[in-house]
Amino acid sequence: MTDGDAISGLACRAAYLDWLAGERRAAANTVEAYGRDLADLLGFLTHHLGGEPDLAALAALRPQDLRAFLAHRADRNDGAATRARKLAAARGFLRHLARRHGFPPLALAGLRGPRPKPPMPRALTPDQAIAVTHSVGETQDDPALAARDAALFTLLYGGGLRIGEALALDLRDLPPAGSDSALRVRGKGGRERLVPLLPAVRAALSALLRHRAGATPDSPLFLGARGGRLDPAVAQKVLREFRRREGLPESATPHALRHSFATHLLGGGADLRAIQELLGHASLSTTQRYTAVDAARLLATWQAAHPRADGKGRSEKPSGGG
């Protein structure tokens, strides 16, 4: 580095925000948010380092300095998502300084930020979910595409499949016509599970297959308009346009149909471990997270399902993720 080492941290911040707005054309609200986050960082470092940091002090930061900043923000009741955003602002700032002034960004070496919990998908009401399965195909003029959309979203709600699992199915994965066999689904980690097909799901799939006469067994079950495997983004767009046309909440997504499948089964008194198997979760605790029902009902159902429940309202806590 050069005589520029004496540049103050505040001047570095101002130059970085000007670069974001000018060269990167970042939105005004993005620049404003980064400015606030970096002001918090520089304010913390002033106390942490015993004086306002200049460019040389910023270049000399270590991962433990940023960890101390994150711990400080946690003490100020910042949640994981807020701390992750502040760390992202610090990363961008320090990388920019490193490129411009020619020093290694030591503070970022091997640094991992907080992991925000994924937002919980909201379950649709039974009437909303059924409206999707009954009417989503009406948005298509092509009968084959209408049958495809109806079959896809009926399968997501009636079988609890992930959108990726459904779109990975080939024709050969379906049970033989007239059979009561379950659908074999390949889930995360290559784990296979059997999913019983409700009559409504079988009917929707049968309607789809009437448009697939002559297709080979290795052909994708759900095709795009150009004949290839249906892209998840297209399926999401279909449901997005349907929910806006019908006035359904923005939370009505393909994954919300899977979540609704689990929630409605659990609300109807289904066994939690059976739901776990249907969803393909490796851990019961993951099923609990997905089924966001009131705590009393969930606890009672879990106690009844757990093999070590002692009948007195106590049981070992399930462990692990899925």
Q: Record the tokens describing residue 100, joined without a space.
A: 């411009």
Q: Where are the domains of the chain?
A: 3-108, 126-251, 269-322
Instruction: Note if 290 is an active site residue.
Output: yes
Catalytic residue (one of 48, 100, 255, 306): 255
54 by DSSP, 3-state: which?
strand
pLDDT at 321: 41
Mean pLDDT score across all residues of the chain = 83
In CATH, the number for domain 126-251 is: 1.10.443.10
Catalytic residue (one of 13, 193, 258, 259): 258
Q: Record the tokens describing residue 120, joined without a space.
A: 């919980």
Q: Tell me how long the chain is.
A: 322
From CA 115, how far away is CA 82, in angstroms rounded? Answer: 10
Contacts of 216 (CB under 8 A, 6+ apart): 171
Catalytic residue (one of 73, 85, 162, 202): 162
From CA 247, how far away is CA 100, in angstroms rounded? Answer: 50
In CATH, the number for domain 3-108 is: 1.10.150
Catalytic residue (one of 99, 117, 188, 191): 188
Catalytic residue (one of 16, 34, 157, 290): 290
pLDDT at 121: 63
Instruction: Note if 281 is an active site residue.
Output: yes
Query: Does the structure show a pLDDT above 70 at 300?
Result: no
Burial of 272 (0-12, 13-18, 19+ CB in 10 A): buried
120-124, 182-186, 254-258, 263-267: the lowest-pLDDT one: 120-124
165 and 185 in contact (C-beta within 8 Å)? yes
Mind listing the pLDDT tens digit for each residue in 96-151? 999 999 888 877 777 776 666 666 667 888 899 999 999 998 888 899 999 999 99
Q: Record the tokens describing residue 121, joined without a space.
A: 């998908």
Kindly report the pTM of this predicted structure. 0.56
Burial of 119 (0-12, 13-18, 19+ CB in 10 A): exposed
Instruction: Note if 188 is an active site residue.
Output: yes
Q: Which amino acid is present at 64?
A: Q
Contacts of 146 (CB under 8 A, 6+ apart): 137, 138, 139, 140
Instruction: Note if 162 is an active site residue.
Output: yes
Do the domains 126-251 and 3-108 match in fold? no
